[in-house]
Amino acid sequence: MNKDTTQAELIFQSIHLIQKLRHDVGQVFKDLSDGISEYIEEPAEKDENDGGSNKDVSKDKAATQDQKDTTGPSHEKSEEHHEKHRAILKTLKKSLETISHDFSDLEKTGANIGPVQMFSNIDNLSLDPVDKNTVTHSQLLQSYKWTNKMHELSDQAVTILGQNTLKRTQSPKFTNVKKLKGNTLSAWVAPQQTVDQCLSVLNQDHPGSNFTWSRPLGGCAALQIEIGKTLKAVVVLRGLTIEWVKIKGFDETFKTDDGQIDIWSSSRYQVFQKLTHHAEAASLHYYAPTKPDLAIKSFVMWLHGFSNLFSVPCQKCGKYLQNNMPPTWRDYRNRKPFHDVCRM
């Protein structure tokens, strides 16, 4: 801040000095033209008739002519001329001295001014008169400020996230690379047989549910779970890691009109939209890269807790409805039902 103000002062001083310098130089030229013309007015006219091309030469000529002319008629006049000449030279010298003084002053101040930080070409843009009427420059400045702010905030976010141990992102910046070398990667690149086997076992463990899975794009399995006659869920697996969850009603479908699997569209019912949010949170809660089979097993078990979605009251308030919604939350440990607002 302080540095900025002194910089500004210096720049202001320099401008002032430049103005003074220009004024001084201007004065010198004015003196020069005034001073000589005063004495050689008449001969100059003669010179013009001669058609003198060079002014300096003509001045010299004029001076010599002057001297020739003045020698005869009066000696007093030539004395006066000499005195005036001297006076002119004196002021000229003085002016030149001031100029050289001011110039060295300017040089000194200029040396103190630090280099002005150029952001980029947008500063030149601001000087472009064509763009004066457009808002491009101010908008660019604004977005520059925003990006700066974003950088700052993301730096803070990295610091905070760095302290968190629950990470899914595979980046050396977030995760310890040495740790990743272990079982973690196998959770993502589990062979299809392993996945199939794991899902078959899950299907047997949950008799009330129906598991079907397909691989529409080859690698990732899109698992569909029907829980009783209550809900349908689609779970996209990368290896054995849960990547995506959607929950819909029993009378809704995960198929598009042309028979493709549709993992994107949401349920038209509020209760299943809410359940989808909770299931997404649960898929993160049960994330265990070193034991992927256990993670998906726990998740499916938790999801299975919704088989009684419409038929059990909330454990806390004892009611079936709260905000016209059934208990849409199941505890992670004991799968007890709670309303969204009754969670502890």
Quick one: 86 or 229, whose CB is closer to another protein?
229
Quick one: 244 or 320, whose CB is closer to another protein?
320
> What DSSP string describes 56-103?
HHHHHHHHHHHHHHHHTT-HHHHHHHHHHHHHHHHHHHHHHHHHHHHH
Span near another protein by CB under 8 A; candidates 109-117, 206-214, 217-225, 317-325: 317-325
Binding mask 163-192 for another protein (x = CB under 8 A): ------------------------------
Quote the CA–CA distance of 322 and 317 in Å, as a whole number. Answer: 9
Span near another protein by CB under 8 A; candidates 154-162, 170-178, 191-199, 319-327: 319-327
Quick one: 233 or 314, whose CB is closer to Zn ion?
314
Residue 251 touching another protein (CB under 8 A): yes
**Cβ neighbours around 202 below 10 Å, total:** 20
Span near another protein by CB under 8 A; candidates 191-199, 202-210, 247-255, 286-294: 247-255
Quick one: 35 or 249, whose CB is closer to another protein?
249
Give the dihedral of Cα atoms 278, 284, 290, 291; nearest 10 deg. 0
Q: Which residue is associated with the tokens 């000449």?
A: 85
- Among positions 269-298, residues that touch another protein (CB under 8 A) are 269-272
Give me the residues that bind Zn ion (CB under 5 A), please. 314, 316-317, 322, 339, 342
Residue 266 touching another protein (CB under 8 A): no
Options 53, 121, 171, 323; binder of another protein; rule CB under 8 A: 323
- Among positions 207-236, residues that touch another protein (CB under 8 A) are 229-230
Burial class (CB in 10 A: 0-12, 13-18, 19+), 124: exposed
CA quadruple 110, 111, 115, 121: dihedral sign:
positive
Quote the CA–CA distance of 182 and 196 in Å, as a whole number. Answer: 23
Pair of tokens at residue 163? 């302290």
Span near another protein by CB under 8 A; candidates 153-161, 187-195, 235-243, 265-273: 265-273
**Cβ neighbours around 329 below 10 Å, total:** 23
Asked whether 106 and 98 are in contact (CB, 8 A), the reply is no
* 328 binding partner (options Zn ion, another protein, none; Cβ < 5 to 8 Å by kind): none
- Which positions lie near another protein, rule CB under 8 A? 229-230, 249-251, 267, 269-272, 308-311, 313, 319-321, 323-326
